[in-house]
Chain A
Amino acid sequence: MYLARVIGRVVATRRTPGLEGVALQWIQPLDASGAPSGRALVACAVISSGPGDLVHYVDGREGALACPRPFVPVDAAILGFVEEVARAEREER
């Protein structure tokens, strides 16, 4: 799973069966310091996330397992809100 920021919303009425009512949102993956890392993608949102929210998401086929109906062609899904990220300081010598 990875950290990301929700940056937008996608509207798509015509979709494959099983995806009815599932929200689609643009997310920007982040690195450990919260800086953008890699390119943005569209994920299914199974929580009530919206633009600006810090979230974690899963990619690959596991994304479909998070959806209400798991047999859907989904390769990324937002799983939860992130309230806080704790990061151990690396010892520099």
Chain B
Amino acid sequence: MLIGQVVGSVVATQKEERLTALKLLVVRVHDPENRPTEQYVVAVDAVQAGHGDLVLFATGSSARQTQLTEGKPCDAVIMAVVDSWDLGGKNVYEKWA
């Protein structure tokens, strides 16, 4: 999994039928030091993430292993909202700080 920040949402009226009612979010990937990278991913939201949240997302066929995405053409899913993390004992990110 990678961590990224929700920076936008995708509206697509014409899309593959099975993607109907799925929320698609634009996630900007962050590195372990919480610096934004130039990589962006469009992911299905399985945890009601909000704009600005730091989230964990899984990619590849694993992304289909939720009730929401099972059997659907999806290769990235947001599977957790990050509260905090530390690196080598040093706190890097704290959602409620």
Closest chain-B Cβ to A46's Cβ sits at a distance in Å of 14
Chain B interface, number of residues (Cβ within 8 angstroms): 33
Kindly specify which of B10-18, B20-28, B85-93 makes contact with the partner chain: B85-93
> Chain B residues near A71 (CB, 8 Å)?
65
Task: Specify which chain B residues have a CB less than 8 angstroms from the CB of A16 in the assembled complex.
Answer: 46-47, 66, 77, 79-80
Interface size class of A (residues with CB under 8 A): 20 to 34
A interface residues (Cβ-Cβ under 8 A, vs B): 7-17, 19, 24, 26, 39-43, 51, 60-61, 63-64, 71-76
4 closest pairs, A vs B, by CB? Answer: A12-B80, A15-B80, A75-B62, A8-B87
